[in-house]
Amino acid sequence: MRLRNSLLLAALSVSTMPALAVDNSMARQEQMDRDGAASQERIDQLDDQAKSDFQEFRTASRRLESLKIYNQQMDKLIQSQNTEMQSIRNQIETIDDIETGALPLMLEMTETLSEVVASDVPFLQNEREERVANLSELIDRADVSAGEKYRRILEAYQVEVEYGRTIEAYRGDLVMDGEARKVEFLRIGRVGLYYQTIDGNRVGRWNSERDSWEALDAGYRTAIRDGLRVARKQAPPELLTLPINAPEQ
C-alpha cells in the first residue's frame, strides 16, 4: 500500500514537471514579446526623432543658404551706398569752391540786370525792380544753393529777353500835370511805350532821347487804341503807324 502511494506521488510529480516548464516558457516568451514591443517602440521613437532632426537640419540648411545669399546682396548694397556716400562727400567738398567762383559772377549779373531796368524804357517798373531786389536778397541767403540762385538769375534774364519781342497792354498810374492818373499802357517790344487815358482823350509816348514822357497828337489815338486791342488779342495783328525809339548805336 505504501509502495503504491509512493509510486502515485512520483507519477504525479513527473506529470506536473512538463506543465511547469511550459508555463515558464510561455511566461518568458511573453516577457520577450513585451521587451521586443518596447524595443520596437523605442526604435520607432528614435526613427521619428531622426526624421524630425533631419527635417530641421534641412530647414536650417535652406535658411543658412538664404542668409548667405541675403548677406552677399547686403554687402553689394553697402558697397554701393559707401561709393555713393563718398561721391556725395566729394561733391560737398567742391561746393564751397564752386560757390566761391560763382558768387562774383552772380553778383555781377544781378547788378547788370539792375542797371538794365534802371536805364530801360520804364514799363512794368515796380514789377521789374522788385524782381531784381528779390534776386539781391536771394544771393545773400545761406539756405539756398548756388545752383538755385544761378537758375533764378537766368530766369530773370529770360523774362527781360522776352520783353524785347512781345507786345503787351496793361493798366497803371502815370503822373500828368502833377497828378497821378490811371492810363492804359501799350508796350511794343522795347522800341515803343505808349499811353492812353481811360477816357481816350489824351495819348502819349516815352521818349528815350529825352528820357521823359511826351504827349502825342490826337491823330495817334486810333493807332494806340488798335494796338491795345491787338495786345489784348481782341483784334488780329495789323500795321500800326506810331513813332518809335530808335535803337542806340
Residue ranges of E strands in 164-222: 167-176, 179-188, 192-197, 203-207, 212-215
- CB within 8 Å of 182: residues ≥ 6 apart: 171, 172, 173, 197, 198
**Residue 35: what pLDDT?**
73
**Residue 9: what pLDDT?**
47
Residue with cell 510561455: 26
User: Is the CB of residue 235 less than 8 Å from the CB of residue 229?
Assistant: yes
Q: Please give the radius of gyration of the chain, using alpha carbons only, rounded to the nearest integer.
A: 54
Tell me the pLDDT tens digit for each residue of 102-126: 788 899 999 999 999 999 999 999 9
124 to 57, 66, 184, 188, 209: CA distances (angstroms): 82, 69, 12, 13, 20
171 in the Ramachandran plot: left (φ > 0), alpha (ψ -120 to 50) or beta? beta
pLDDT greater than 90 at residue 85: no
User: Is the CB of residue 239 less than 8 Å from the CB of residue 207?
Assistant: no
Distance (Å, rounded) from C-alpha 159 to C-alpha 113? 11
Question: pLDDT averaged over the chain?
Answer: 83
pLDDT greater than 80 at residue 205: yes
Distance (Å, rounded) from C-alpha 112 to C-alpha 180? 30
More confident call, 246 vs 154: 154
Q: Provide mean pLDDT across the span 197-207.
A: 94
More confident call, 30 vs 200: 200
Q: Grid coordinates representing 31?
A: 516577457
Of 21-25, 36-40, 93-97, minimum mean pLDDT range:
93-97
**Residue 14: what pLDDT?**
47
**Residue 131: what pLDDT?**
96
pLDDT band at 20 (very low <50, low <70, confident <90, very high): low
- The two beta strands, 192-197 and 167-176, are unpaired
pLDDT greater than 60 at residue 173: yes
**Residue 88: what pLDDT?**
64
**Residue 54: what pLDDT?**
80
pLDDT greater than 80 at residue 39: no
pLDDT greater than 80 at residue 13: no
Residue percentage of the chain with pLDDT more than 70: 81
pLDDT greater than 60 at residue 128: yes
124 in the Ramachandran plot: left (φ > 0), alpha (ψ -120 to 50) or beta? left
Of 28-42, 47-61, 78-92, minimum mean pLDDT range:
78-92
Give the Cβ contact number of residue 135 at 10 Å.
20
More confident call, 195 vs 87: 195
